[in-house]
Amino acid sequence: MKALYLDGSNGLDVGVDGPALRVRRPGRADSQYPLPRVSRVIAVGAVHWQPDALTACRRDHKPVAVLDSRGRFVRVLSSAPPQYGLARHLGELLAVPRFRVRYKRWYRAAERDEMLAALGRLGTRCQALPPENVWQKICLEQYRRWGVRPGNCYRYLLGLAAAQIASAFALMGMPRDSQAWGRQEYRLFCHILRLERWRQAVLLEQMLARRAGQPDRRELTAAFESLSGDRERQIAAWRERALQEMMGLGPGQEGLISYQQPDWKQGSLDMSAVVVRICHGAHNRGNLGRIPIGARGSLRTSVRIVRAYLQYDRRMHESFGTT
């Protein structure tokens, strides 16, 4: 499945024709896009939607991300399928002060890692500066090097990145209220976007090195979509690593669980299976000197909250399975 990009700069009308979306453009023949082959839809600018087309996308769980004419992200329209797991509760977990402290620690480290990786690939030396100052320096050096003002390019690229992140969140049930983002949900969304922008800086640098002049939107979209699969996996990895840290499952931190499984692998993880293994290991093996208990019983609190969510998910799964 691939993303469907709709550029409404000349006006578009989107309807439905059986199992496909029908797109009408002035002065051109109609186009049809079968919904089973579409992963998500990105509508930029003046795109007119027929009600039955939006209903079909929501029915088939195809997120529709809306960007304004300048490429800035506006909102995502989606109806998520039933989801089971801790990831859909990230907004609620961030409302807990202890989890929020752990999350902030993870985010600072993750942003620094992404920033240093981008600086290394761009050949820029300003590691000692705050992230915002580093970003300004990257933009300034790209302008001096290539004679192109990168602001418009980044506006559009980050709008596309926000659309993909919001679509990924929508498919797992975030925001919980489809009409409005919760405060902590929106914080997580913004932070994932800030991590992704360092990768967009590298992508734009590669584009500017291959061609002269300002890339147009078609070129930017093609370059962005070429890495869509890798980006999807990276978004999931960031989300799962943040969840691990919030739950106290990060390795080697004071007061957190550092239990290692022999088959532990980095990358996209089945969080429910990981949490179950660790909870059972902590319960059956005891402490054994492997799980340091920090101040105010952080281990007991974390395991109790994890178990409560697992029990809630099991009840939800059984209720859906028996209806």
DSSP letter for each residue of 281-317: HHHHH--TTTS---GGGHHHHHHHHHHHHHHHHHHHH
Domain extents for the chain? Answer: 2-62, 91-245, 271-322
Residues 288-311 as b or e (16 or more Cβ within 10 Å = b): eeebeeeeeebbeebbebbeebbe
Give Cα 26 to chain centroid, integer Å.
Answer: 34
pLDDT cut 70: percent of the chain above it? 75
3-state secondary structure 146-207: HCCCCHHHHHHHHHHHHHHHHHHHHHCCCCCCCCCCCHHHHHHHHHHHHHHHHHHHHHHHHH
| Res. 182: pLDDT tops 50 | yes
**Per-residue pLDDT tens for 76-86?**
998 777 666 67
- How many CB atoms neighbour CB 158 within 10 A? 18
Q: What is the CA radius of gyration of the chain?
A: 22
Q: Are 302 and 248 in contact (CB under 8 A)?
A: yes
pLDDT of residue 28: 86
Average pLDDT over residues 32-42: 94
Output the CA–CA distances (angstroms, integers) from residue 186 to 106, 191, 193, 248, 256, in the order listed.
17, 9, 11, 22, 26
d(CA 75, CA 179): 10
The tokens describing 256, both together, are: 């957190």
pTM of the model: 0.78
> What's the fold here for domain 2-62?
Ribosomal Protein L15; Chain: K; domain 2 (3.100.10)
| pLDDT mean over 152-166 | 96
Cα of first residue to Cα of last residue in the chain, in angstroms, is: 31
